[in-house]
Amino acid sequence: MLKNTFFSAIAAGMMVGIGGAVYMSSDNKYVGAVLFSVALLTICYMGMYLFTGKIGFLAESFSWDTVKHLLVGLLGNFVGATALGYAVRFARPSITEKAVTACSGKLDNSFLAWIALGAMCGILMYVAVKIYREKNSVWGIFFCIPVFILCGFEHSIANMFYFALANMLTVKYIAFILCVVLGNAVGAMILPWLTKLGAVKTEKKA
């Protein structure tokens, strides 16, 4: 049911916000990047609905019903991450300045850069969840999450938290988030698309 997806997505958005909060609270960015993994780890183990963890699998098995759930899930993720951002802003004002600096830097990039950075993050999110699903292993999570953070790739749901924490929900923020969502979606679907194409070519050669 879409209602279940929405509430599960709110929970997932909140967990991403907690991951973002620990990253912003860490003096050592490497430690913070690793600890951010608590978000996807919890989401995977508890079966929460995270847009960036689901969208790549649309390329494996497309259905309009899945698209509806993805859109509702994205909305729920926004509600959860944004609410957590403002809650942390109220409870931990000491880290808001760091968020403002980070978000201002993000907005300095171009539209194409936002999409490209979002796509690279999308690839890693798909890999992390794929490994968890098929290998029942958390290693993909513990490697892919710190990699996308340290590389400066853009995660749409995490940014919903950061910008709420910085209280920077402007028109430019909306454009930024939409570009990153698009990038996350395209990036997450690249590997399954290429895998399908590779499989088709291999079957034809055989």
d(CA 39, CA 70): 19
Fold classification of 2-205 (topology level): Glycerol uptake facilitator protein (1.20.1080)
> By the 8 A CB rule, do 159 and 176 touch?
yes
> By the 8 A CB rule, do 78 and 12 touch?
no
d(CA 118, CA 141): 17
pLDDT of residue 201: 55
Q: Where are the domains of the chain?
A: 2-205
pLDDT of residue 15: 98
pLDDT of residue 150: 98
> By the 8 A CB rule, do 160 and 20 touch?
no
pLDDT in tens, 112-147: 999 999 999 999 999 999 999 999 999 999 999 999
> By the 8 A CB rule, do 52 and 155 touch?
yes
**Mean pLDDT, all residues of the chain:** 95
The tokens for 7 are 């509430």
| Helical segments of 26-63, H only | 29-35, 38-46, 51-54
pLDDT of residue 90: 97
What single-letter amino acid sits at 46?
M
Q: Using DSSP, how many helices (H) and how many strands (E) does the chain show?
A: 10, 0
d(CA 182, CA 192): 16
pLDDT in tens, 16-53: 999 999 999 999 999 999 999 999 999 999 999 999 99
